[in-house]
Structure 1
Amino acid sequence: MSLVKLNFLTPKELRGGWAALAAVMAARGWGDDVYATGTQWLYHDGGGNWACLRFKEKNKSILIGHDHEYTETFYGKAAEYFEEEETDILAGAPDWWSFDLNPMPHGEWIGFVYGWDGEKWQRSNYDKDDGFESLDLIGGLCIEDLESLRLYAQDAPGLNGNPPNDSDLKALILADANITQKQLEVVTPGWDIDAGVAAARRFLEIDV
């Protein structure tokens, strides 16, 4: 079965937005929801929906995740637990896609597995909604949609009830994880700027 080609941001293009969101979340003390380690980038919306970009090696990455409301694909133990027909979300995929399919620490089930081979994203060919679009991970991390960053930053005490400027939010994304204290301070004044900057810089530990 042939794989389906997907058209969205490369891991390198995702890094700036993911790191910016991690910086804001860490600054306000919510660093366990969006963060990077030496092998993966993690995202959780606080409501049971999550995604994780895991790096096997250069040009070999998988994006896995689940939306507890909209995912209609049942993979592995989820099919048995929910007594549903299993969707083979690895049909036709190369063996390396399965190098780390543990849904922890953010979830119990996996609804999608997308593979990045250095040139393109692909997934298996199935018709069910896997939950990726409703998760809106990409929308929340791109410079064209600042809603997530604005939402999590706007109650910083130093903003006095006013949302941060769009230009300042865009600057966080364009910094591509090299966020400075000055850049984060104008977005989240009154919160832990050092923690936010450190969280962003962790996205530089993996060469994408």
Structure 2
Amino acid sequence: MEQISRRTVLTAMGALGTMTVAGCADDEPSQLDPSSTHVVEGDGGSGSSASGSSSAGSEGSGDASSEGGMRQVQLDSPDAMRGRWAAYTAVVLAASDNSESSRAEDGDWIFQHELGPWAMLVRFKDGKALLAGHANADIVRDLTQEKKIRRALVAGAPKWWGALDTALPDTARIGFVLGWDGKTWQGLAPSVSNFDALPFYPKSQQACGEQLVMWGSKAEGSYTGSAKAAADAAMRAGTQLTAAQLKKLGPGIQSARVKGALTAAKAYEGKGKH
């Protein structure tokens, strides 16, 4: 997991605003060394209020290439990530002055890293989902270049992936698109490569738990002992997180911000609307 310095976190807590997500004219996502199944760290849904997960295990292998050049990505299901995503959102809001943090908006979920990289989970009524975003916050592209990149990232994908263009504004610069069909995640090799570079904390209990402790302790604690227990409880609670559970994470939690943080966590409830 990416290590972030104490100085970086303290800076983010007090002064860091959201960096503009832009893109680059020559920013074609790099090619991934071809492999049949790609593994992204996950834990099958622990630390979540839901138990669903990708149908493949976190250490699977074998020929999982699919039609259209799509590759299976072993990442937990959206429901399995819900509790972690909600808890992370609440803790960052309660511990910092960043008003443009991770959040749930009208059924979709947004992950905003404190240094700029981002991801958006576009959720459908039937349980399907698209995860799109960019690991590089300093990319600049014009609209023509962005359209070209988007077409390349969904080439050969199922038709329902086309909803991406209506769900995300054309001003968003995208480096990866992954699709959840209700059973598995899939994406083209360039998407998987860019997603790998994103420090996406909701992907696992370990990654998310370390962040909850870091923000809650003002970067003084570690994900062990009582701090780990408090973080795990927050992730299990997810959308039902309480003020007591949030404050138990440490002195980094600002009492005046707790109410808003709990409201933000609860916004992750419900189904998708697309």
TM-score, scaled to structure 1: 0.79
Q: Aligned pair in 2 of structure 1 residues 59, 162: CA closer, same or farther (>3 Å)?
A: closer
Q: Does 1:121 align with 2:185?
A: yes
One-letter amino acid of the structure 1 residue matched with residue 261 of structure 2: G
- Distance apart, 1:70 and its partner CA: 10
- Separation (CA, whole Å) in 1 of partners of 2:204 and 2:99: 20
- Separation (CA, whole Å) in 2 of partners of 1:129 and 1:12: 21
Equivalent residue number for residue 11 of structure 1: 78
Equivalent residue number for residue 40 of structure 1: 108
Query: Percent same amino acid at aligned positions?
Result: 24
One-letter amino acid of the structure 2 residue matched with residue 150 of structure 1: V
- Separation (CA, whole Å) in 2 of partners of 1:207 and 1:56: 4
Q: What do the CA deviations read for 1:137-179 (whole angstroms, capped 9, x no partner)? A: 1x455212322222222229xxxx6567111011111113211
- Separation (CA, whole Å) in 2 of partners of 1:153 and 1:9: 25
- Separation (CA, whole Å) in 2 of partners of 1:122 and 1:35: 24
From 71, 87, 97, the counterpart of 2:161: 97
Q: Aligned pair in 2 of structure 1 residues 31, 104: CA closer, same or farther (>3 Å)?
A: farther
**Number of matched residues?**
194
Superposition RMSD in Å = 3.1
- Separation (CA, whole Å) in 2 of partners of 1:11 and 1:87: 24
Equivalent residue number for residue 258 of structure 2: 193
Query: Which stretches in structure 2 are left out of the alignment for 5+ residues?
Result: 1-67
Equivalent residue number for residue 7 of structure 2: none
Q: Aligned pair in 2 of structure 1 residues 141, 129: CA closer, same or farther (>3 Å)?
A: closer
- Separation (CA, whole Å) in 2 of partners of 1:5 and 1:129: 9
- Distance apart, 1:108 and its partner CA: 3.3
Higher helix residue share: 2
- Distance apart, 1:205 and its partner CA: 3.0
One-letter amino acid of the structure 1 residue matched with residue 268 of structure 2: F
Query: Which stretches in structure 1 are left out of the alignment for 5+ residues?
Result: none
From 155, 159, 170, the counterpart of 2:218: 155
